[in-house]
Structures are given as structure tokens and as C-alpha cells.
Structure 1
Amino acid sequence: MSETTTNQRTDALRQELRETSWIERKYHRSLELNKNRPALGESIPNECYTEEFVKSKAQILKKKPLRLKEYQHLQNAFLQSEENINAFLSVDNALHALVRELSGCNPDLQLAAANCCCNLALGNSKACNVLAKAAGPYLLATLDSLNYNLMDICIWTIGNLAAGSEKAFEIVYAQGCLRLLISLLRECDLTLLPSVIYATMHCVYAGYEHIQDSEIVHVTKAIVCRQSHYHDPNTLWLLAILSSKSTCVEHILILLSSLIEYLHNATKSEFSDVVQVTAVVRILANVICETTGEAVDALFNNPKHTETETQLLLNKLLMQPHLHLQKETLWLIGNLYNHPSLRHREQARSLICTLSSLRQAALSTGASL
């Protein structure tokens, strides 16, 4: 696998995450609000908020804390539209007033302010950069808190900042966010783990070119130790990013049998979880060309599955209507075909020649055989 080709696949991964990032962040923020509703108070559905409403609340906030219900209105307004986010940030010192409550001593106001910050981080890159500078140190300070509700929201906010702007990531990275996230990955309570994985995934994606290899390895070791969560989509995409780093491959190998088993099981539902399946195929494609042949053996010489079952798996992946999944499968097959080990290369080519769906998938995606 050439360095140019590897870079192209990395760029493709970054583009996929970039295109879906804002939708995913907004969707998960809605879930997070619902999950934490007992702590947040009564939901306020079917409200329409204007920029004038947001500015009026920002002006009040500059002078004194809002009532809790007003914070709920404000956070919902941020979730409703980017224009409302920009309206709030256009009011001088409004953000500093919000950070005042985040860094204060009242836990209810801290949580309310954190929720507002989390939704502000759904804004454009400029909004994320401003928020990272103003609130970053206080968000990170909560990661040592015993208030799990507050920690959860602040971790999500860090993830949203990294997803929204590489510059915002660089700001919180310089403040030590990745070191704290790695520590949480290793030992945090299971209730916090999905949020930690979400934030780590977006930080690793945003900082792919900046993070030191030693830190990337620490992230990999930490996530591998949380094997029980490997079916989580964010975990799989984090592993997909990590697997494109050669320094991480040996640590991911321990998960390979479980991931291959996941793919075999997914054939029974016709790969209905296409997001997870795509990530697993990406991981497998990146890891399969490691030089020892351990990854190829896990796929082809698996005691749980016959060669015919492996052939069926690859054919079904090639037959999927999703072009991106077909491309990932072709990438996997190409790496198998060119494996550095002669024995494993010959075994792979022998099976590849029997794939009845290969030519059609190549034609559909414009790939050359």
C-alpha cells in the first residue's frame, strides 16, 4: 500500500466525517438533552426562537444570572438555528457572562451554562474558536468533577468544539484535553464512557496531523481495553481513524476476531447498521496488510467460519447498494491481493478469483481490476 494511496484514504475518511459531523452532533445533542432531562428540568417543545429573543436574554445575562427556565429557552434556541448562535455571540461580553456561570459555585447554574455552551459549539468554526478560547479551561476543569451530569455535558462540548473547528481543537489540545480524555478512557464510569469516546473520536479526527504518535498509541491502548463497547458507532469510527496509523495496528489486532465476527453476524440482517459495518470494513482494510499475516489468518483461517462463509461475506459486501461500502470492500480486497506476505497473498488471490460480485462492484464504483 503506497503512502499516496494511504493519504487518499485518510482524506476520504476526513471528508466523510466532515460532511456528517454537524448533523450527527445536533442529533446526539437532542438525545443528550432528553437523557439528562431530569437534571435540566421541563422540556420546552415546539417553540420558535428569534434572534431578538436571544439577544434580549444575552443582555440580561450580562447583568445577572438568568432563571433556569430561561437557560432552557436559550439552549433550545441555539439548537434551533445557527443564526441564534451568532446572535448571542454578537452581544458584547455575553459569552463571558455565560462562562461566569460555568465557572461559578452554583451547580444548577453551572449545568445550565454548560448546556448552553454545548449547543453554542454546534455553530460554525468561528463560534467554536471563540468558545474554545473563552470556555476551554473551565470545561476541562470540570473533568475532575464528581458531578457526572456536568462532566458529561462538558465532555460533549469538547467533542462538539473539535468537530466544529480544527482551530478550536488546537486550542483545547494546547490546554491538555487529550491527556484528560485518555485518562477518562482508561478509568471513567461507564455512564460517561459514550461521551468520552465521542469527544476522543472528534479530537483524534481533528488533530490527526497534529497529535503525537505516542498520544495516538495511548488512545488506542485505552480504547482497546474497553472492548465491551466496540459496537458503539463512535468507537468503531475512532478505531477506523486509529487503524490508519501504522503505530496503532498491532494494538488493534486483538479486536480483529470480534470485528470479523460482527461482520459475519451482520450478514443475517443484510448489514442494516451500515454506519457500523462501513467502519468495521475500514478497520479491517487498514489492518489487513500488516506484515505478519495475523490479520489475514483471522479472516481466512478463522475456526468459526469456513472459506465458503468468508467468500459469501465478501460477496454480500460487494453487492450492497451503498457505493461507499462497496468502495471500502474493494479497498480491503485490494490490500489482500497485494499483501506483503507471499503465502497470504496467494491464499487471498485464490479466494478473490472466486468472488462473483467483484466485477460488478468495480464497474459500479469506477474502480479498475
Structure 2
Amino acid sequence: MWRRQQGRFRPVFCGVEELRRCRREQEAALRKARREQQLISKRLLREDIPEEAGGVAAVLGEAEIQQFLRQAQQGTEEKEREKALVHLRQGLQHPETQQTFIRLEGSMRTLVGLLTSNQALLQLEAARCLHELSHSEQPVVAEACLPATSYLLTYLSGHSSDFIELCLYTLGNLIVGSEAVRRQLLPQGIIPALTACIQSPHVAVLEALGYALSQLLQVKEAPEMIIPSILASALPQHVLRLLQPSPKLSPGVAVEFAWCLHYIICSQVNNALLITHGALSTLGLLLLDLAGAVQSTEDTGLELLACPVLRCLSNLLTETAVEDVEGQIEFGDERIVAALFILLQFFLQKQPSLLPEGLWLLNNLTANSPSFCTSLFSLDLIEPLLQLLPVSNMVSILVLTVLCNIAEKGPAYCQQLWPGPLLPSLLDILNSSDTEVVGQSLELLQLLFIYRPEAVQAFLQHSGLQALERHKEEAQLQDRVHALQKTALHG
């Protein structure tokens, strides 16, 4: 989750242009914060549970590791060799065994030899041993796996979907485990390998691929060294294809690739290219599909997809004027706004922490588009929007920001905002102790006073000046309070 930047002291302002400038500076900080990425994590595939074999697997010493490797390499029966690798793999679940293994001379060479053998069961168990090593938090362990990376890439073009899935998760773990691994994987052709793999018909493979790609997109050097190459490949088109709403859309695959798209957009390398490929259209249709889904199912897992979809749309819209892309998605269609409010109601009931995600998108939709502001009136959505104010300070700030977007469009829009339930809501907010929430309400009042003089009289009649008084000594608010008092009393 992104964090809001702390508000800064700002000088007195009275004009609409000054209001707009100050608020856009604030929103620039918010947009920057929105691009914070998820924490990188690793995933572990384990089909067997050590406890089922009579207890937790023991830590292995050098002699035991050497014995299992020797049995796996020189055993007379395949089952015996496979069993030796199973014991080794279970031992490698312990960090102590991992450290011992990589220090042991020739151990990785032997394991890679088994990985490249012509016996499928031994290959699979050797790959599972590498997978355990890839899950280590120690970069030195990931770097010890360097000799295996080229083979893992090669096997992505194989025929066994289970084996390909295992290789992808292992590569995904290694990618974030060590910069040295990434330096080797790029010239080895990881991007072409992933591009070829994304055309797999197997859902499990695609989900694993989405994980590996998302790991690659999150590393610190991605914007400079990785994402330009990815954008030059066919991967973005395939990602968007896999996000197209259809009966065949896999939720797990969609979640993985929606986050991939989010990381690409956050890099700001070439978002215009994504829009050219139809990213806005795909995301808009996916938003409509999600709104329909939350109305017909109790599956709370839908928020896992809604979050990256909302972020992708929000961040794309910060860089491209809505008017410039209306032809790619029916942005003028009230369905988009209606769908977003369906999701907001769903979040309110099931996942309140995601409300800021939806409101941030609404903010970006209304910031530069009078038609979206009009949709809020035509669909009678101002009151449902105000009902979100008590949820949290962050939600309050974003709701007020959306209302400011509407108010700054001029007198006709302020006339529809006022009168109505807005005045009681703003008076309640002035009783708040949160400086940022109160500050945003002051900006909305300033716009209303400028464009809707009748609002001043109503504000005065409902003890608005007394509500302002409590904030006149607060350093971050006193100048704005003074400006608003001046406007209210002298016009």
C-alpha cells in the first residue's frame, strides 16, 4: 500500500488558478507515492510434507550431502538414485544445509549434471533441489546456482508443464536473489525465453511465468536495463491479451499479469506504447467485468485482481489526458463510473483498505474531464461519495479531492454540488483534528465561495466561522483559514 506524503506549509491563496496549482503540486506527490511497488517475495513449491515421512527433515552435514550426491550419481537403480535426491532436497529446506552444500566442492557441479541427465525423474528431483536453494535469503546461495540458470532457461521450451512451472518459479526466486544472477540471465536470453513461454496453453505455466516476470520487473535496475527490452519484445501484447475479459480468463493468471503491467507502467519508460497496444481499453473492460463479478459472487478473492487493475488505470491516466484516449475506451460512457462505484461499495463492505485505490482512479478520471464530473451528477453519485467520508482520513482526503475536481470546473458544477448534503459534511469535517483533511475541505470551500456565492451565506448561517476559528492557530492551516474568512466576510 502506498503512503501519503506529509502536507507542507503553503502561502495564502484566493484565486482559482492558485488553488489549482497548489492542489496539483499535492497530487504530484500523491502520484509519486502511488507508484510504490509491492514488496518482493519468493515462492516455494512443495508437493510432499516432511512430517508425513516421520518427522521434519534433519539438517545434513558434509558427509551426508556427499553420500546422497554419490548415491544419486552412481546408484545402480533409478529409484535408489531418486530417493537419494529426495533426502537431499528435504535437507536443503534448512538454511544450514544450504550453506554447507554450496561450500562443498563439486556439489553444484554434480547437481547440475543430474539436472541435465537423460532420466526424467532425476532431472525433476535435481530441479526441486535447486528450487529449495533458490528460496534462500542469502545472495551467496543464489549466486552458487549460476551454473544452472542457462539450463533452467533451456527447459522452458520443454514439453512437461510441471517441469516448466518448477523452472519458472525457481528462476523467479533467483532473479531477486542476486544481481549477479540477473546480469547472467539477461545475456542468456531470459526475455526471449519468457516471450516464447507466454504462449503456453497451460494455466499453471502462465501463472508461474507471471510470477517470474513480475520478479524481473521489480528489481532496482529494471527501468534502465530490463523494461526497455521487454517493451521492445512481444511480451506486452501477450500480457494484454491474457488480461482480456473472457470465460477463459484465469483469475490467478490475470492477477499475476496485472501486477506485471503495473510495474511496467510505474517505470514510466514508455507508457504511450502500452496505450497504443490498447492497455486502456483492456483495463477498462476488465474493470467493467470485475464490477459485474462482484455483484454475482461472494468470492472475496476478486480484490486481488481489482487492486492492480485500478492502479494500472490510475497511473496511466496521470500521464495521458482523458480526452486524448476517449476513442480507445468508452470513457464518456457512464458505465465506467457506475462500475467504479459498484467496486467502491464492494470494498466498503468487504475490503475497506482498497477504497483509496478506487478513489484515486476516480480522482484521475475527474481531474481533467468535465464529462466524468457530469456522470457523477447524472448517476446521483455525490451522496454515495459523501457517505465514504467517515471511513478514514485517507478516504476523506481523496473524496474531498474528487469534489474539488468537480468544483473547479466552474459555476455550473458548483451549482449542482450546492445546496445539498455537502454543507453538513463539510461542517463535520471542520471539527476534525486531522490537518490534511481539514485543509482539503478548506480548498473545497474556497472554490465553492468563488463560484457559488450563495454558499457563503449558508455557511455563515450554520456557524461556519466559529468552526473555522478552532483552526486559526494551526501553523499549516492558519493562512488558509484567514483567506477563507476574508472571502466569506468581504467576498
What's the TM-score, normalizing by structure 2?
0.60
Distance change >3 Å, CA 295–CA 242, structure 1 → 2: farther
> Which sections of structure 1, spanning at least 5 residues, go unmatched?
none
User: Cα distance, 1:116 vs. partner?
Assistant: 0.8
Report if aligned partners of 1:142, 1:154 keep a CA contact under 8 Å in 2: yes
- Alignment partner of 1:213 is 2:200: no
Aligned residue for 2:72, secondary structure, equals coil
- Equivalence for 2:361: 332
- Which of 192, 201, 206 lines up with 1:189 in the alignment? 201
C-alpha distance in 2, partners of 1:309/1:198? Answer: 28
CA distance in 2, matches of 1:3, 1:219: 30
Contact 2:98 2:141 in 1 (8 A): no
Report if aligned partners of 1:85, 1:120 keep a CA contact under 8 Å in 2: yes
Relative to structure 1, the CA distance from residue 96 to residue 127 in structure 2 (aligned partners, 3 Å threshold; closer, same or farther) is same
After TM superposition, the structure 1 = structure 2 runs for residues 169-248 of structure 1, keeping only pairs within 5 Å, are 169-185=182-198, 187-190=199-202, 192-206=205-219, 208-209=222-223, 210-216=225-231, 218-226=234-242, 227=244, 228-229=248-249, 231-232=251-252, 233-244=255-266, 245=268, 246=271, 247-248=273-274
Q: 1:149 to 1:196 in 2, by over 3 A?
A: same
Distance verdict in 2 for CA 1:154–1:326, change over 3 Å: same
1:258 Cα deviation from its structure 2 partner: 2.6
CA drift of 1:334 comes to 2.7
What is the match of residue 287 of structure 2? 259
Deviation at 1:158, TM superposition (A): 0.9
User: Which one of the candidate residues 159, 164, 169 is aligned to 1:146?
Assistant: 159
Would the alpha carbon gap of residues 343 and 250 (structure 1) be closer, same or farther in structure 2, given more than 3 Å must change?
A: farther
1:313/1:276 CA distance change after superposition, 3 Å: closer
Measure, in 2, the Cα distance between the counterparts of 1:287 and 1:7: 13
How many residue pairs get matched? 344
Counterpart CA distance in 2 for 1:254 and 1:293 is 9
Partner of 1:9: 34
1:65 matched residue in structure 2 = 72
Q: CA RMSD in A?
A: 3.5
User: What is the correspondence of 1:1-369 to structure 2 with a 5 Å cutoff?
Assistant: 5-10=30-35, 12-13=36-37, 16-18=38-40, 21-22=41-42, 25-26=43-44, 29-30=45-46, 33=47, 45=53, 47-51=55-59, 53=60, 55-61=62-68, 63=70, 65=72, 67-79=81-93, 81-127=94-140, 129-185=142-198, 187-190=199-202, 192-206=205-219, 208-209=222-223, 210-216=225-231, 218-226=234-242, 227=244, 228-229=248-249, 231-232=251-252, 233-244=255-266, 245=268, 246=271, 247-251=273-277, 252-256=279-283, 257-269=285-297, 272-273=300-301, 274-289=303-318, 290-291=320-321, 292-294=324-326, 298=330, 301=333, 305=335, 310-317=340-347, 321-323=351-353, 325-339=354-368, 342-344=369-371, 346-347=373-374, 353-354=382-383, 355-363=385-393, 367=397, 368=436, 369=440
Structure 1 residues 165 and 358, CA gap change in structure 2 (3 angstroms): farther
> Conserved in 2, the CA contact under 8 Å of 1:263 and 1:277?
no
Structure 1 residues 141-169: Cα deviation after superposition (integer angstroms, max 9, x where no partner): 22233344433322221112124345433
Contact 1:242 1:248 in 2 (8 A): no
Q: Which whole-Å CA distance do the structure 2 matches of 1:277 and 1:330 have between them?
A: 13
Q: Could you tell me the percent identity over the aligned residues?
A: 20
Cα contact 1:271–1:277 (8 A) shared by 2: no
What's the offset of the Cα at 1:96?
2.0
Larger Rg: 2
User: Contact (CA 8 Å) 1:293, 1:344: kept in 2 or not?
Assistant: no
